[in-house]
Structure 1
Amino acid sequence: MERIVEPGPAGFHPPSAAELGVLPPLPEHGLTFGHEVPEEKAMEEMAKAMFTRQNATIFPGPLILWNWNDHAADKARAVLELAAQIPEVLIIPMPDYRPKYPKIEPEEVINPNHPNLTIWGNKIEACIFIGVHCHYANLTLKMIRAGTNCWTSAICAEQGHEDAMFTVRDSDAAKIRKAAQVFKRVREEMGIALPESGESVRFTGLQSRVHEGKTHTNPLNIPLGEEGTASAAAFGHKAEDMQREG
């Protein structure tokens, strides 16, 4: 299949996927390099990229990082279940959208205003964005395609992201868990084993120092933050304001 949305680096100001004629997928479908495919096929291609390319990373965004309602908390658990199926995966958060100047710490966060710095800094060749508001995800995906060789995936709660190499839409917690099961099947078909300890998530250097030299963790043991100080409500956000995009 000829690719419409090519992996980068595409150079300065490449045409958007929409300019290339790519539309968001229909319900129960996804996109693979700009072509509409059945949803499960798009998930399979996501999995293959995450299993075969270097330093595969999940980038969770504010919609699932902040424990501001039960819906967000359930999606966060589902993302950790997905991470449990990807050996050596990194998890680097996008906690908010404010530019990080004068310097970003690429082993700590990714930022939509200069995502290439985190991609370059960690030599990431495959990633999944999930829980990022669509307009910031679109900005991020275009910049990554312009300046890096990273194969991007987007598990989107809305209509999907045509600028990602792979995307699925309408992703609630149940669909994220479906993706985790697809990843499990593909991993087993490829003969890739999980660590016996269950510690599939690899820490960045900074994360390792924070955790007193520990290099890996079991994502299913990562506690969700309690409501209150670990909630977006602490920053003035209300669950009802975000529910539609969550």
Structure 2
Amino acid sequence: MLKKVTVGPVGYMPRSAPEMGVELSEEGMALLYGEQVSEEEAMRDAARAMLTEDNPTIFPGPQVLWDWKDDVAEKAAAILELAAEIPNCKIIPMPDYRPKYPMIDVKAEINPNHPNLTILDNKIKACIFVGVHCHYANLSLRMIRAGAECYTIALCAY
């Protein structure tokens, strides 16, 4: 498989995925390293990473942290079940993952909403962002890829 997008670190100011020719996936498909693949293939690759990489972590975002819609409680329960199946999996709620400047001290913040710094500080090598807004996920994924060696999954259009 040709990998348009790779696991970082790729350095300061990496090219955005669209700039590298990555387009949104069609319905029923997923993006894996910038290429469209079946959802099953993407989930198998994500499962492998979450089961084999160090410090697997799930970051629930605002769309699954509050019971604001009929199906949210069911999705939140599924996230807890998933975490229970992954050895040593942590859950770090991320109700607001927009970057905050100036730089923050991740250990001092009650809500460490700087995803890339949280990943670096916790030495996370595989993570899932679930219940995040696609337009913010794109920015966060780019920041993570810039400086962290972390296999990152974003489930934003669930």
Tell whether the structures are fold-level matches, with TM greater than 0.5.
yes
CA RMSD of aligned residues (A): 2.0
What is the CA distance between 1:104 and its match in structure 2?
3.1
Structure 2, unmatched stretches of 5+, are none
The CA deviation string for residues 211-240 of structure 1, in whole angstroms up to 9 with x for no partner, is xxxxxxxxxxxxxxxxxxxxxxxxxxxxxx
Please name the residue that 1:54 is paired with: 54
Write the mapping of 1:71-220 to structure 2, written as runs, cut at 5 A: 71-97=71-97, 99=100, 103-105=105-107, 109-111=111-113, 114-157=114-157, 171=158
- Rg (Cα) greater in structure: 1
The CA distance in 2 between the partners of 1:108 and 1:15, in whole Å, is 31
CA distance in 2: counterparts of 1:106 and 1:74, whole angstroms: 32
1:68 aligns with 2:65: no
Contact 1:93–1:108 under 8 Å retained in 2: no
Change in Cα spacing, 1:54 to 1:107, as seen in structure 2 (3 Å) is farther
1:120 Cα deviation from its structure 2 partner: 1.1
Evaluate the alpha carbon distance shift between residue 106 and residue 20 of structure 1 in structure 2; reply closer, same or farther with a 3 A threshold: farther
Which residue identity does 2:72 align to in structure 1?
A: A
- CA separation in 1, counterparts of 2:97 and 2:48? 29
Q: Does residue 38 in structure 1 map to residue 38 in structure 2?
A: yes
Contact 1:4 1:34 (C-alpha < 8 Å) held by counterparts: yes
For structure 1, which runs of at least 5 residues remain unmatched after alignment? Answer: 158-170, 172-246
**Aligned equivalents of 1:19 and 1:106: distance in 2?**
36
Q: TM-score, normalised by structure 2?
A: 0.90
SS in 2 for 1:30: strand
CA separation in 1, counterparts of 2:6 and 2:141? 12
Paired with 2:137 and 2:32, the residues of 1 have a C-alpha distance of 17
Cα separation, 2, equivalents of 1:107 and 1:87: 26
1:132-184: CA deviation from partner (whole Å, max 9, x where unpaired): 11222111111000011011001122xxxxxxxxxxxxx2xxxxxxxxxxxxx
Q: 1:31–1:37: 8 Å Cα contact kept in structure 2?
A: yes
SS at match of 1:11: coil
Percent of paired sites with the same residue? 56
User: Whole-Å Cα distance in 2 between the matches of residues 65 and 53 of structure 1?
Assistant: 25
Q: Distance in 2 between matches of 1:117 and 1:31?
A: 24
The amino acid that maps onto 2:107 is E
Following the alignment from structure 2 to structure 1, what is the Cα–Cα distance between the partners of residues 109 and 127? 14
CA shift in 2, pair 1:48/1:108, >3 Å:
farther
- Between the aligned partners of 1:107 and 1:58, the Cα distance in structure 2 is 18
1:97: Cα distance to partner?
Answer: 4.3
Q: Alpha-carbon deviation of 1:96?
A: 2.3
